[in-house]
Amino acid sequence: LVEAAVIVSRTTWMATNDNNRPGGVVLVNPEDWRTALVSANLIHFPNNGPVLFVNRESIPKLTLQELQRLKPTGVEANRGVQVILVGNISERVEAQVKQLGFQVDRVTGDNPAAIAQAIDTYYAKAAGEIPSSVIIGSMDELAYTVPAVNWIAHMPEPLLYVTKTGIPKETEEALR
């Protein structure tokens, strides 16, 4: 997965000068598929940049090399943030990113529904407006949620989660 994410990044962002560098990069641990999927909401806006994969405690060599190659420019609408860490990622990873000289921000939560809510809030703050619609995905079944990723990566609609048995309180709060 790490290599696939880097290949997509290299294909989409040439990063040969400031005009074709991404604004920001999202780092997420792919072992938590719910968090990885919902982080796609940050691809187009506010970042115009890729999602790359890290481990909870370290940055794989390929991801580190890609971050250095991309040299994200920072996103003015997001206070110049260059790298967003999403989910349960250690302080060690944050320190590694900061050592590269990047301005870092975090989006966290106690569970996938809380992270989805936090991403919704983060996106709205950076955009300066609340999205007028949302996409609902299953927190139980990957196959039901994966199709939403392409949409949320490019449209101003966040992904929020439900389960087979109900609507998490975080999703209810986000909908309100």
Burial of 133 (0-12, 13-18, 19+ CB in 10 A): exposed
Q: One digit per residue, pLDDT tens: the chain, 176 residues?
A: 999 999 999 999 999 998 999 999 999 999 999 999 999 999 998 889 999 999 999 999 999 999 999 999 999 999 999 999 999 999 999 999 999 999 999 999 999 999 999 999 999 999 899 999 999 999 999 999 999 999 999 999 999 999 999 999 999 999 99
DSSP characters for 50-76? -EEE--SS---HHHHHHHHHH----BG
